[in-house]
Structure 1
Amino acid sequence: MLTGSIYGWENGQDDIFNPQSSRNRDDCLEPMRLMSAVARQNGIELHTADVNAQKHLTPDFSLYVESIDFVPCGAKKNYLILYETPLTIPRNADSWYLNQFDRIFTWNKDLLHNGLQDYHGGMVMRDRFVQIQYPNPIPKECSGDFQGPTYTQRQDFVCLIGSNRHANLVDERELYSQRVKAIQWFEKNAPLDFKLYGNGWKVPQKRLGSLGKLRYRMEKAIPFLLGKPVFKSYQGPAKTKYEVLSKTRFCICFENARNIDGYITEKIFDCFFAGCIPVYWGDVGIANYIPAECFIDFRQFASYSDLYRYLKSMTPERFAQYQQAAREFLLSNQFTPFSSQNFADTIIGQIKDDFALA
């Protein structure tokens, strides 16, 4: 039996496999449970690092599910799942950090094709990178054919679900600030047609750097003194994303960054599962992965006014066409790379190969 230690899940005690975990919002831990199940089927036992340490076990391999500090543990091989872009986690483009791992699972097409050469001249060879996509658990509320409420059955018009955060590098590709611009436009021009959900929106836009933090503190003081909300459309955290999206016609669906090939997160899939039409901005080649008929491409509009007019003019029939295209995609083999099962199979399959397991 091969043993692996998982690093990067602070709760420990195998909480990452627990469907009742307080952190299992929208069943986000399903990929980890499937990975554990596939591992057992192949003679591999996975635990969080603290569990193996309590048993005084030296793992055969380590698997980092977040880009945290590397902890030498005597493992024969070390693996990293690279979820985020360097704009959010700068060390994800640091050759010194990445070279501590034998294999790095990533969606990043540039790394997969070319490897990495960082700003210091350090290199990571491309054969260390293994392709995965963000895994997307299907909500339990979904029917087998992904039929959802129709246009007329949805009471809300446009929403945005996300947390109030900022990029950790200065880069024109970041979209955190563009989400705020979208929120501000709708609050000013179409306040009755827009609702904001997520964490951290009781305070102003989070900003990068010392000057950004100073501006944030100044902006935070004014609404506090006046007793006014910062974002008037804020509804609080979503109980579940499916609950919000299934009652809403359109969702502002911006990735954390744009124009990074392969960076497609759960956001657009959350919309598809609930039959909500995403207004998407992110991967420059999104239509290479997901048919263009499934979503509204934000880049096709010169302004939010143009976008809003398009949304308001949409007929129930046209809305149903978007929904049908998304359902067909979800039921096709095109969705397979984005599934939780494919995520688990790919990672465990690579570990099997590396340890020459039958």
Structure 2
Amino acid sequence: MDVAIVPEYSNLLDNNFVTWDGEYAEDRSYDVDRGGYTELKNVFEQNGHTLNTIDLVNINKIDACIFVDSDMNWIKQVLECDNDPDMIYIMREPPCYRSFNSTSNLSRWSTVFDHILTWNDNLSQNYVNFSSYNWPQYLPQNIEEGYSFDDCKLLVNISSRKHSSHPDELYSAREDIIEFFSETHPEEFELYGKWWTSPPRIIDDILLEKIFLPNKYPNIYEGSIPISEKTDLYQKFKFALCFENQTEIDGWITEKIFDCYRARIVPIYWGANNVSEYLPSESYIDYRNFIGPSDLYNYISSMDEEEYSEYIVAGQNFLRDRPEDFSSDKFAEDVYSAVTSIDNSCSKWVPADIQSYIDYMGEADALVNNYDEIGRLEYISRFGKIIANRPSTVINHPVSYFACKSLVPFLPDIRIGSGWR
């Protein structure tokens, strides 16, 4: 069985997505996933199959193709293959970041994909051809002790500044806490990350009339740090804001809380509704238990070292036990089982509106992936036609931003794939 895999970003092609050196580098794209995908490649090969990124294969000879989040250019090409390979979709990002991954949308795409893997427990438990998986995590403990309890500052946030119009997004909740500390307790809080002093980067921000935002938090903002320094910085603090990008969904647990465990810092968590089914509740502070930022502050600022240590020990014990649900081995097992057990008795069915979406968005994704080869003027011309024909389809896609930036060069650069646009 010859299997291709399509990563979300082009810098993960050439088998970079399925090759991992065993060391977790937080500043590498998808490095939290690479251990799992490398193990997946090993499992395929151990069972006499192959797994390579799609740029290294002849798609007309593959038996199956795995898509990690949606790349409509490759989806379009694989659908057009005469050999009709099985198509497997791995949902990675939440709907607030990638609207394609909403429950209503993915349930309709189940006739296009032969199987869909998702961390969303509601989807995996209630829809045909869906199954569950968890993000593979880097689980080794950090054996180095951090600063003493009395020497640590109270609270830190390390995240990029983002916005979303999704009703369950947590970007704004995170910023509510940041604003509270900036106004009331700036000496006990530090803020790190990208874009806190930059203009917004996405169409949603422009629609919300947030085109130019000054640095709102000069008294707490310490700049952007290399993500590789995240653990060292965490060890200087007692608590870390650890909000996922979205709530009101089950199973959405990313590397954020695991980074806290390894750094021996207590996470203040908000994200998956059912987080306690996956992680020990005594290892994190559940923000849902507080009325607001002031209530949270009163709790963490009055916590003594004994109570604090109980959280730390619970997190360390969890890592020490190497939780199987989040291991690379379990991830590889779940994906391999899904790919090799597809029932081919049913043929794919692509509804007309989805086919139209694939056609337009496939062309848009192809433009983004080949921006440097196409050239700016040709890019503007071709993308302008896509917007004119299907504005409702592309308005929330990153390529919309690139088109706007091509026309309005002073818009800030953003990173996608291996390059800045």
Displacement of 1:347 in angstroms is 0.7
The normalised TM-score by structure 2 is 0.70
Do 1:176 and 1:256's aligned partners in 2 also have CA atoms closer than 8 Å? yes
Q: Deviations over 1:292-311 (max 9, x none)?
A: 11111111222212211211
Are 1:102 and 2:97 counterparts?
no
Matching residue within 253, 266, 272 for 1:264: 253
Do 1:154 and 1:246's aligned partners in 2 also have CA atoms closer than 8 Å? no
- What is the aligned partner in structure 1 of residue 331 from structure 2? 343
Q: Deviations over 1:254-302 (max 9, x none)?
A: 1111121111222112111221101111122222222211111111222
Q: Which has the higher relative contact order, 1 or 2, with Cα contacts under 8 A spaced 6 or more apart?
A: 2
Residue correspondences, number: 328
Q: Deviations over 1:167-201 (max 9, x none)?
A: 2xx33311011111122112222222222223222
Match of 2:149, SS state, is: coil
Give, as a single letter, the amino acid of the residue that structure 1 aligns with 2:335: I
Are 1:10 and 2:22 counterparts?
no
Displacement of 1:46 in angstroms is 1.2
- What is the aligned partner in structure 1 of residue 242 from structure 2? 253
> What is the rounded CA distance, in whole Å, between the counterparts of 1:286 and 1:202 in structure 2?
32
| Stretches of structure 1 lacking an aligned partner (at least 5 in a row) | 116-125
- What is the aligned partner in structure 2 of residue 160 from structure 1? 157
> What is the rounded CA distance, in whole Å, between the counterparts of 1:41 and 1:293 in structure 2?
39
> What is the rounded CA distance, in whole Å, between the counterparts of 2:151 and 2:250 in structure 1?
33
Matching residue within 284, 292, 313 for 1:324: 313
> What is the rounded CA distance, in whole Å, between the counterparts of 1:208 and 1:231 in structure 2?
29
- What is the aligned partner in structure 2 of residue 59 from structure 1? 62
- What is the aligned partner in structure 1 of residue 275 from structure 2? 286
> What is the rounded CA distance, in whole Å, between the counterparts of 1:205 and 1:182 in structure 2?
20
Do 2:142 and 2:263's aligned partners in 1 also have CA atoms closer than 8 Å? yes
- What is the aligned partner in structure 1 of residue 125 from structure 2? 113
- What is the aligned partner in structure 1 of residue 190 from structure 2? 195
- What is the aligned partner in structure 1 of residue 98 from structure 2? 89
Q: Deviations over 1:222-246 (max 9, x none)?
A: x6xxxx8767423313432322223
Q: Deviations over 1:88-145 (max 9, x none)?
A: 2111132444432111111111111222xxxxxxxxxx2x111101221136x723xx
Greater alpha carbon shift after TM alignment, 93-102 vs 35-44: 93-102
> What is the rounded CA distance, in whole Å, between the counterparts of 1:252 and 1:85 in structure 2?
19
Greater alpha carbon shift after TM alignment, 321-330 vs 95-104: 95-104
> What is the rounded CA distance, in whole Å, between the counterparts of 1:88 and 1:153 in structure 2?
38
Match of 1:64, SS state, is: strand
> What is the rounded CA distance, in whole Å, between the counterparts of 1:82 and 1:342 in structure 2?
17
Displacement of 1:210 in angstroms is 6.8
Match of 2:135, SS state, is: coil
> In structure 2, do the counterparts of structure 1 residues 27 and 247 end up closer, same or farther at CA, with 3 Å as the change threshold?
farther
Percent of residue pairs identical: 29
> In structure 2, do the counterparts of structure 1 residues 306 and 205 end up closer, same or farther at CA, with 3 Å as the change threshold?
farther
> What is the rounded CA distance, in whole Å, between the counterparts of 2:326 and 2:269 in structure 1?
17
Are 1:184 and 2:167 counterparts?
no
Give, as a single letter, the amino acid of the residue that structure 2 aligns with 1:239: I
Matching residue within 282, 288, 296 for 2:285: 296
Displacement of 1:28 in angstroms is 4.3
Do 1:6 and 1:62's aligned partners in 2 also have CA atoms closer than 8 Å? yes
Do 1:31 and 1:137's aligned partners in 2 also have CA atoms closer than 8 Å? no
- What is the aligned partner in structure 1 of residue 137 from structure 2? 136
Give, as a single letter, the amino acid of the residue that structure 1 aligns with 2:65: S
| Stretches of structure 2 lacking an aligned partner (at least 5 in a row) | 345-421
Match of 1:165, SS state, is: coil
> What is the rounded CA distance, in whole Å, between the counterparts of 1:114 and 1:231 in structure 2?
48
Do 2:239 and 2:267's aligned partners in 1 also have CA atoms closer than 8 Å? yes
> In structure 2, do the counterparts of structure 1 residues 355 and 150 end up closer, same or farther at CA, with 3 Å as the change threshold?
farther
> What is the rounded CA distance, in whole Å, between the counterparts of 1:157 and 1:337 in structure 2?
31
> What is the rounded CA distance, in whole Å, between the counterparts of 1:26 and 1:245 in structure 2?
19
Looking at secondary structure, tell me which structure has more helix per residue: 2
Give, as a single letter, the amino acid of the residue that structure 1 aligns with 2:333: D
Displacement of 1:327 in angstroms is 1.9
> What is the rounded CA distance, in whole Å, between the counterparts of 2:76 and 2:219 in structure 1?
41
Displacement of 1:14 in angstroms is 1.2
Displacement of 1:63 in angstroms is 0.6
> What is the rounded CA distance, in whole Å, between the counterparts of 1:157 and 1:268 in structure 2?
17
Match of 2:272, SS state, is: coil
> In structure 2, do the counterparts of structure 1 residues 27 and 338 end up closer, same or farther at CA, with 3 Å as the change threshold?
closer
> In structure 2, do the counterparts of structure 1 residues 249 and 346 end up closer, same or farther at CA, with 3 Å as the change threshold?
same
RMSD (Å), alpha carbons: 2.8
> In structure 2, do the counterparts of structure 1 residues 40 and 142 end up closer, same or farther at CA, with 3 Å as the change threshold?
farther
Q: Deviations over 1:34-77 (max 9, x none)?
A: 22122211222111111114xx7621110111222123323521
The normalised TM-score by structure 1 is 0.82
